[in-house]
Structure 1
């Protein structure tokens, strides 16, 4: 079987803990290069995973033209996503880009245009779009098991330590961008619609120096067509909580955990006076995501979580920021999504066990 050859661009925590361990078991993907600013760590990772080449960021364009890679996995700070993805596209290389796709709508549009112009695939790394439990939750709503979905409510929080890169304003860090994006993306596909208006507020604990550059937490309420409402809170200062609930006219589903990749998912359906719980194995989200993207490349199929999906979330987050800053509601105008995640996208890989953390 032909395998898609990946360069890992940015060999930090998410690459080490999740992406790099996941590739070996996909069967249709392999890693052939690492691009990193830490040559010592990169060489250790390359030896551990049997990766042939290590490049500094200054030689990224050289790598793209070398014929060694078919695709890049971009796990850089948010502010660098667009530049590295556009350079890859211009070299005829596909790009799997961590969320948020970029820091502005204009950057997202430039990334999408570059991919289309050069005939390559651009995918926003929404790993949950291939996770069977998430796909079952979406399908339960689609099948009408809770009637018409009317309310979405979610809290995603965990405490972040001082000095974490997520707390840097220069890279558009913060809880909204890092974890609130999961809540936004989830409700858009559960409701199968785009929001039309948002109100929001941001807050930080007085005197907590962790949040000198970004807010501790953001809460937003989104209005959707059909006068439906979605509310979420994303926090870097509160205790660990990861769940969402969808309430319809005939029942409700609760998904907990809802977004993280380090534990198995459970869905609780309450309808008709009874409650049913569905438990899923702990799947490797990153193996599923890489397998799906490689499959799209090999078959010439546009990935469902494409650049447009990432752009929509960036547009919504920018509107949330403005609503929180001004205290006024913000209108949102987005085209309908041409597709949503379906169960056929599911990938049921076991958790990878071989990993090296530096």
Structure 2
């Protein structure tokens, strides 16, 4: 795998999981005229490679507009996707969306430091918002986004696609049914090699733009995974960092960060992230009578699960390929229609923002224990309410 690979370029081939009974009926394709319209804000790699293609196969969502600071690029993308000229927006006329009934949801796919401003502007325009993670670069901005949603009486969803991804849902359900006994330990490892020559990496290595370098870009997957795997919240964290300040990539962010969450059930979750180690997005859950090894666990495709019991690894089971982004956006569309509960609300993003701040606070205090029991409890367990696909 190339060292120039980005988080949003970690694309595999075929998902692996087991199909369980659906808690929510599988989505049925909606006539195009009745689909929920999405405006995609930012036309970088993720939008062009995953989000817009996902909207083409989504059952209840569709592309209604594009927003970009590059007019020629925006017009080209719009034309390629059959959008009229008036469905092309720039950041200077962003607020014109208030008068566009074709748009119900604005999907924010911008550098992290721009999330809060464009989210709040979308709410002022009367639109619902799906925002990429991390939701912001500070706890204060995340709280402002949630307040803006409430003031506008609109919905804010954070793009935690693993909440809707079949392999992760399967693992959550295995842990809930207790077939391997009590969970004792979770280990998450999320990182890659970053490259300043890549424009998309340059801002991720900028502390002000990213809000935390590798931790905000890759580590958030491990922070969130420990929480959704266990369906509980950590009560404390300790963390340490190792950063070579002579490396030009790490002038304003930490490199290797390792943390340890303690959960009320007694489970310990170890996590690490780095922009200077071999690409990996995996985790391991160790239970009393077996292990669940997901490696990779959070690619756009090709995620694999190995179940180990009695020292023997079982062959992985597979599902037909599925589009994770289509599933995520279809869920948001159903939330807007009042047909599905909000599984990944702004409060979920805020919890991760607070936990990442606690990690960095502990790093700054050389591994001091930071209390993290702020009272947050998720309203809906993805393992209970999110369906697994029954066909491709």
TM-score over 0.5 for the alignment?
yes
Q: With structure 1 as the length reference, what TM-score do the two structures score?
A: 0.92
CA 1:102–1:308 in 2, change beyond 3 Å: closer, same or farther? same
Equivalent of residue 200 in structure 1, options 232, 239, 249:
239
SS of corresponding position for 1:342: helix
Counterparts of residues 234-253 of structure 1 (less than 5 Å): 234-253=273-292
Q: CA deviation at 1:211?
A: 1.7
**Deviations 1:328-353, CA, capped at 9 Å, x for gaps:** 221112322222212652464999xx
Judge conservation of contact 1:3–1:28 (CA < 8 Å) in 2. Answer: yes
Counterparts of residues 146-157 of structure 1 (less than 5 Å): 146-157=180-191
**1:340 is matched with which residue?**
381
Counterparts of residues 1-358 of structure 1 (less than 5 Å): 1=31, 2-52=34-84, 53-163=87-197, 164=201, 165-171=203-209, 172-205=211-244, 207-261=246-300, 263-280=301-318, 281-299=320-338, 301-327=340-366, 328-334=368-374, 335-342=376-383, 344-346=385-387, 348=389
Judge conservation of contact 2:169–2:388 (CA < 8 Å) in 1. Answer: no
**2:6 is matched with which residue?**
none
Between 139-148 and 77-86, the greater mean CA deviation after superposition: 77-86
SS of corresponding position for 1:120: coil
Task: Identify unmatched segments of 5+ residues in structure 1.
Answer: 352-358
SS of corresponding position for 1:99: coil
Give the distance between the partners of 1:348 and 1:211, measured in 2 at CA. 41
Give the distance between the partners of 2:285 and 2:372, measured in 1 at CA. 22
CA 1:233–1:349 in 2, change beyond 3 Å: closer, same or farther? farther
RMSD: 1.9
**Deviations 1:233-270, CA, capped at 9 Å, x for gaps:** 11111111221001112221111111121x31211112
SS of corresponding position for 1:137: helix
Q: With structure 2 as the length reference, what TM-score do the two structures score?
A: 0.85
**Deviations 1:143-199, CA, capped at 9 Å, x for gaps:** 102211111102112111114221111211411001111111111011111111111
Number of equivalences = 350
CA 1:166–1:282 in 2, change beyond 3 Å: closer, same or farther? farther
Give the distance between the partners of 2:154 and 2:339, measured in 1 at CA. 9
Q: CA deviation at 1:113?
A: 2.3
Task: Identify unmatched segments of 5+ residues in structure 2.
Answer: 1-30
Give the distance between the partners of 1:149 and 1:130, measured in 2 at CA. 22
